[in-house]
Amino acid sequence: MQRAIDVRPKVEPRRQEEGTPPPVLVTQDLRVWYGTHPALRGITLGIPECRITAIIGPSGCGKSTLIRCFNRMNDLIPTARIEGRVLFRGQDIYAPEVDPVEVRVRIGMVFQRPNPFPKSIYENVAFGLRLHRKLSRRELDERVEQALRQAALWDEVKDVLHTRSGLELSGGQQQRLCIARALAVEPEVLLMDEPASALDPVATARIEDLMEDLKQRYTIVIVTHNMQQAARVSDFTAFLLDGELVEYAPTEELFTRPRDRRTEDYITGRFG
């Protein structure tokens, strides 16, 4: 029988440098294949707690594959094969006794295109709570409101929670609704795979402002093809190329003083 993942730290991690929080997620020699095609080639990195980490690189470099390893979404792809370790607070989430559903509760995900359910706004946010928690109606109401407030959507929808479908919202509102749905179950980590690529500039700015607010409580990992967005919102940036981790550093350092020539070539537009 699978058991829920134990999210208590086994050992208190050491801070690697002054002012940098300990990692909440760590990959160790992570390798992924789709059939015979290698998608990731020995990725080792640590994701610091309550910071925004951006993953950048050209199309096909393994960005989405990496972020989907953090909550076992690649398990849903029949041809995927994974080696190495992904540690969440010191525990390997790929250990056979760990329940992947519980992993996805603790490590939530928001996808590239908004995917609200054809249900009311309230039921969209309450969906995961009904599946994973036994709550009274009062508790459910409180958690739905809290999640919508955290997603900066409450004031826009509070009067139509039960009468308006999530599909009737604008694109930016739909994405914030999906963020609220992920936050409702109170994850510790929020993964965001190109969360603003389908949105207009105004909606994109709202999502970026929201990420800045959310990192006070959550660890955020964002995949983005937009280097300007990575520079604006992230604290740390990882650059991937052909499935390899080329460079991983504080964002300002990586963009202004890259150590690898390939990083410099990519961020200056010489390729990619």
DSSP string, the chain: --B----S-SSPPPPSSTTPPPEEEEEEEEEEEETTEEEEEEEEEEEETTSEEEEE-STTSSHHHHHHHTTTGGGGSTTEEEEEEEEETTEETTSTTB-HHHHHHHEEEE-SS----SSBHHHHHHHHHHHH----HHHHHHHHHHHHHHTT-HHHHTTSTTTSBGGGS-HHHHHHHHHHHHHHT--SEEEEESTTTTS-HHHHHHHHHHHHHHTTTSEEEEE-S-HHHHHHH-SEEEEEETTEEEEEEEHHHHHHS-SSHHHHHHHTTS--
Q: What is the mean pLDDT of residues 130-147?
A: 91
Q: Mean of the pLDDT values across residues 214-218? A: 94
Indicate the pLDDT class of residue 18, thresholds 50, 70 and 90.
low
pLDDT band at 44 (very low <50, low <70, confident <90, very high): very high
**pLDDT given for residue 272 in this prediction:** 58
pTM: 0.89
- Nearest alpha carbon to residue 84 among 249, 206, 245, 258: 245
| Percent above pLDDT 90 for the chain | 80
* pLDDT value of residue 20: 73
Residue 21's pLDDT is what?
Answer: 76
Structure confidence at residue 7 (pLDDT): 40
What pLDDT, on a 0 to 100 scale, did the predictor assign at position 22? Answer: 84
Q: What is the pLDDT of residue 35?
A: 94
pLDDT of amino acid 19: 63
- The span from the CA of 194 to the CA of 250, in Å, is 20
**Is 71:107 a contact under the CB 8 Å cutoff?**
yes
Q: Which of 14-18, 23-27, 86-90 has the lowest mean pLDDT?
A: 14-18
Question: On the CB side of 191, how many CA atoms lie within 13 Å of its CA?
Answer: 24
Is the dihedral angle over the CA atoms 90, 80, 38, 110 positive or is it negative? negative
Sequence-distant (≥ 6) Cβ neighbours of residue 194 within 8 angstroms: 64, 112, 223, 224, 225
- How far apart are alpha carbons 91 and 26 in whole angstroms? 10
Q: How confident is the model at residue 269, as a pLDDT? A: 84
Contact 45, 1 (CB under 8 A): no
Query: What was the pLDDT predicted at 244?
Result: 97
- Average pLDDT rounded to a whole number, residues 92-121: 93
For residue 4, pLDDT over 90 is answered with no
Q: Is the pLDDT of residue 164 over 90?
A: yes
Instruction: Give the model's pLDDT for residue 270.
Output: 79
Q: Is the pLDDT of residue 15 over 70?
A: no
Considering the chain, what is the average pLDDT of its residues? 90
Taking 50 as the threshold, does the pLDDT of residue 141 lie above it?
yes
